[in-house]
Amino acid sequence: MAKLTMTVNGRQVSGTCDDRTLLVHFIRENLGLTGTHVGCDTTQCGACVVHMDGQSVKSCSILAAQAAGSSITTIEGLASNGELHPVQAAFKTHHGLQCGFCTPGMVMTAVDMIRRHGGNLDEATVRAELEGNICRCTGYHNIVQAILAAAAETGGVRQAAE
């Protein structure tokens, strides 16, 4: 058994779990944060993406113990003060989700993608960057639209601030 402490969505949490427990199961079962999903068993689908120390990771591909001491953000920690994050808002406006199962992973991936590329994203880059996230509902069309719109908005905001 491993005893661990980490920061999740800004709050310090600790818990005990099997050495073999994956981060995604620790998040879902020990912490009750069920927004992070499990869609596969081969680290292919991306439904489980969270941010670890500011970078997107597939939480099914690391052990909870490896995340000890780190700072994790899950989909539940993205909106602030009841306001949707711009990426969440763009997904809503552009109908970038249907059943919602892939959505938390898509949004977390998109936030990281925009952080890395800023306003310089184009469609081909977005599609290539989404290689690790599978959606069966949307055909990706509106997800791509949503990410491009959010990137343009965020990039625009940045420029205005400069």
Partner 1 sequence: MGVEGIGARVARKEDKRFLTGKGRYTDDMVVPGMKYAVFVRSPHAHATIRSIDATSAKSMPGVIDVLDGKQLLADGIGNLICGWMIHSKDGSPMRMGAWRPLAHETVRYVGDAVAIVVADSVAQARDAAEAVVVDYETLPVVTDTLQALSEGEPQIHPEAPGNLIFDWELGDAGAADQAIAAAAHVTELKIINNRLSPNAMEPRATLGIYDAGDDHFTCYTTSQNPHLARLVMSAFYNVAPENKLRVIAPDVGGGFGSKIFIYPEEIVCLWASKRTGVPVKWTADRTEAFLTDAHGRDHVSTVKMAFDSNNRITALKVDTIANLGAYMSLFSSCVPTYLYATLLSGQYAIPAIHANVRTVYTNTAPVDAYRGAGRPEATYLLERTIETAARELGVSPAELRRINFIRTFPHQTPVIMNYDAGDYEASLKGAMEAADWDGFAARKAEAERRGMKRGIGMSCYIEACGLAPSAAVGSLGAGVGLWESAEVRVNAVGTIEVMTGSHSHGQGHETTFAQVVAERFGVPIDSVNIVHGDTDKVQMGMGTYGSRSGAVGMSAVFKALDKVEAKAKKIAAHLMEADEGDIVIEDGALKVAGTDRSVPWSQVALASYTAHNLPPGMEPGLKEGAFYDPSNFTFPAGCYICEVEVDPETGQTKIVQFVAADDFGNIINPLIVEGQVHGGLAQGIGQALLEGVHYDQSGQLLTASYMDYAMPRADDLPSFTVTTSNTPCPSNPLGVKGCGEAGAIGSPPALINAITDAIGNNELTMPATPQKVWAAVHSAH
- Residue bearing tokens 């590329």: 117
Q: Which of 52, 91, 111, 154 binds partner 1 (CB under 8 A)?
A: 91
Positive or negative CA dihedral for 27, 51, 107, 77? positive
Angle between helices 86-93 and 141-161 (to 10 degrees): 140
Residues from 3 through 32 that contact partner 1 (CB under 8 A):
18, 20-21, 28, 32
* Shortest Å, Cβ 44 to partner 1: 4
78 touches partner 1 by CB under 8 A: yes
* Shortest Å, Cβ 157 to partner 1: 20
137 touches ligand FES by CB under 6 A: yes
Six-digit token string for 93: 């406006």
| Residue 48 touches which member of ligand FES, partner 1, none, C-beta under 5-8 Å by kind | ligand FES
Q: Which residue, 43 or 55, is less far from ligand FES as judged by CB?
A: 43
Residue ranges in the chain assigned as alpha helix (H): 23-25, 86-93, 103-117, 123-129, 141-161
**33 phi, psi to nearest 5 deg:** -90, 90
8, 72 Cβ separation under 8 angstroms? yes
Q: How far apart are the first and last CA of the chain?
A: 49
99 touches ligand FES by CB under 6 A: yes
List residues binding partner 1 (CB under 8 A): 18, 20-21, 28, 32-42, 44-45, 47, 74-76, 78-79, 84, 88, 91-93, 95, 97-104, 107, 123-124, 126-128, 130-131, 133-144
List residues binding ligand FES (CB under 6 A): 38-40, 43-48, 58, 60, 97-103, 135-138
